[in-house]
Amino acid sequence: MSGAADEARVGSAQQGRLTLIAWWWRRAWGSEGHERHTALLIGKSTVAATLAWVLSYNVLNAQSPAFAPFSAVLIMQVTVYQSLLQSTRYVGAVAAGVAVQAALGFLGGPDLLTFALVALVALTIGRWPALGAQGSQVATAAFFAFSTYISATSNVDKITQLGQIILLVLIGCSVGVLVNVTIFPPLRLRGAEHGIHSLAHALCDLVSDMYPALREGELDEERAGHWRKRADQTGELVTQARTGLRTAQESIHYNPRRLLRRHRGRTSFEGYGAVLEALERTLYQMASLTRSLHQWSKDEREGRRNHRSFLRCYADFVESISEITEVLAALDEDKLNEQAPQLCRLADEAQQCRHRMSEHAERDGLPLADPARPYGVLVIEATRLMEEFQYTCDVLQHHVDQ
């Protein structure tokens, strides 16, 4: 019975893995996303490596044909721009490594001291900032070149083999770039929207948790501390959003697909960049607001009970902000003609809520000018938040008007 149960568990696990694989391929085939991008990259890398191998092994009959397919796969970057940039740096790094080996090899001969000098010089050149991430390839190329150098039988053969390394790398890089440009060149325009969606979702989730509790006066220290922690942990989302925007901007450079797109406006990211910066500042202001609420929950318990009406007004303002973040979380350039006016209308309503909250605080005689009390700080934070949201809405409306 135990053996049958084990076989059943193994069969169930295998079935689960097959289901995951099938689900992954359905995602890759059915929608544009990470799965499809990964599948395309694997397929294009396979084509590039195969073509480079044929050219190096069957056409040139090279002694080290693997250099070409390795180079082709190495520079198959996420964008055409990065493929061109990294291939240029990679060829430069390999040429530098081979040149170091050639110079020191012919001067010092194939002995241990020469290898040590080659390693020292190559590793030093590899630190050159202009080579970027390809700096380590200087030493790698130098070591392979040294191995080729000591195995050659004559000076002519040594020069030929060292030159062939550079030729194979050029072939591999050329094939890789050509395949990346001609076969579904990556155009990651949705990356800019995705970054904004992520930040807006995080902000929307936070404020949606806050305003019901503020309205009910349930501002205990534990809950306020949780809000503060969530607001302080958005740095990674900001980094990811900036990376997505940068990738989207890079993807249009030297990419033939942008000329075939019907919506030429998609190749402009000034609006998205401004919105992203505004959202980043908004998250910073929200972190400051949650810190103020957390401090209040610790030091102003009695005062909080005496000013529940202020909290209710503040909850109305935070709720109006949540409506703006819901629209930003679903931002779509194809729908901006509808979303931008909607955002402007919601921003006007939020401004009215903020004015009512400020007037309520003044009417109740709250100590807004007292830096030791939270009321003035919360009013100021609300004003700053609205400045950022209003700026975001104005940027998007300007983009639509253009």
pLDDT in tens, 120-150: 999 999 999 999 889 999 999 999 999 888 8
**Torsion angle, alpha carbons of 219, 222, 228, 229, to 10:** -160
Cβ neighbour number for residue 88 with a 10 Å cutoff: 15
* Surface-to-core class of residue 370, CB atoms within 10 Å of its CB (0-12 exposed, 13-18 middle, 19+ buried): exposed
Distance CA 379, CA 21 (A): 53
Q: What is the pTM of this model?
A: 0.62
Distance CA 350, CA 209 (A): 18
Tokens of 278: 């505004």
Q: Tokens 């806050």 label which residue?
A: 210
pLDDT at 30 over 60: no
Going from the N-terminus, what domains does the chain have, and what CATH number goes with each?
A: 31-182 (no CATH), 190-401 (1.20.58)
What per-residue confidence (pLDDT) applies to 270?
A: 64
Distance CA 32, CA 190 (A): 10
Rg over alpha carbons for the chain, rounded to the nearest Å, is 30
Q: Which of 92-96, 155-159, 176-180 has the lowest average pLDDT?
A: 155-159
* Surface-to-core class of residue 295, CB atoms within 10 Å of its CB (0-12 exposed, 13-18 middle, 19+ buried): middle
- CA dist 81 → 95, 125, 177, 178, 251 (Å): 21, 24, 10, 12, 7
